[in-house]
Amino acid sequence: MQEAHRKTFSVEEIELTPNPRSVKFILDQKVIDSGSKTIEEGGYLELDTFANNLFALEIVDTVYLRENFVSVTLNSADLWVIFKDKVKNIIETDLEKYEDGDDEVSSSILDDFDKEKYPHLADEEKVIIIDALLDASIRPALANDGGGLEVIEVEGHIVRIRYQGACGGCPSSTGGTLRAIENHLRSQLDPEIKVHTHL
């Protein structure tokens, strides 16, 4: 019986990110059609050979996939000297395309949205609007650095986010990036918004 031919990925470029523990592997094709995917220890299926082999190294903290790249964050930046080629080989040997990422909403929601209504929305509806706004503006910029962010919840004026990929544990994500996100949401939606990171 012949094994079905798997489409394999080639790493075209390896980029450093602002987070010294994370490296971004740029692939020759899309690894995911839409959205993004974060894989953490224990958060993958037994039959996901790529995730199993990567986490079996016992040095990987998180894996973040979006468009045509994989961002891998190790427990320590020093380990990249030893493991960069090994991680690249696992990507090229075992990675298979993921159908769709974790839910991301369409930015078309914003087309008909009246900013004056935002403060009066239910918290669940605020999450949808904020997600759409981040998709349109902030997430593409974070993706350039091998990272992303997730909106955990909105409570009144408080927005709780969690960084993904290279942005998690990056020194600039807790300072400048957080202020930039907060200022953007304030100018677009509500000047009272406060953004907090959720660990």
87 Cβ contact partners less than 8 Å away, ≥ 6 residues apart: 23, 25, 54, 57, 60, 72
- How high is the pLDDT of residue 102? 67
Number of folded domains that form the chain: 2
> What is the chain's mean pLDDT, rounded?
86
Domain region containing 32: 11-94
Other CB atoms within a 10 A radius of the CB of residue 102 amount to 12
Q: 124 or 136: whose pLDDT is higher?
A: 124
Q: Are residues 80 and 124 both part of a single domain? A: no
Under DSSP, the state recorded for 109 is G
Residue 101 has pLDDT above 80, yes or no: no
| Cα→Cα distances 41→87, 97, 170, Å | 16, 19, 19
Which tokens sit at 171? 């020194």
Query: Tell me, what CATH number does 57's domain have?
Result: 3.30.1370.70
Q: Are residues 75 and 119 both part of a single domain? A: no
Q: Are residues 117 and 167 both part of a single domain? A: yes
pLDDT band (50, 70, 90) for residue 72 = very high
pLDDT in tens, 28-38: 999 988 888 88
Residue 3 has pLDDT above 70, yes or no: no
Other CB atoms within a 10 A radius of the CB of residue 37 amount to 21
Q: Are 71 and 80 in contact (CB under 8 A)?
A: no
99 located within any domain: no
1 located within any domain: no
Q: Give the pTM.
A: 0.68
pLDDT in tens, 146-198: 888 899 999 999 999 998 888 887 777 767 788 889 998 998 899 999 999 87
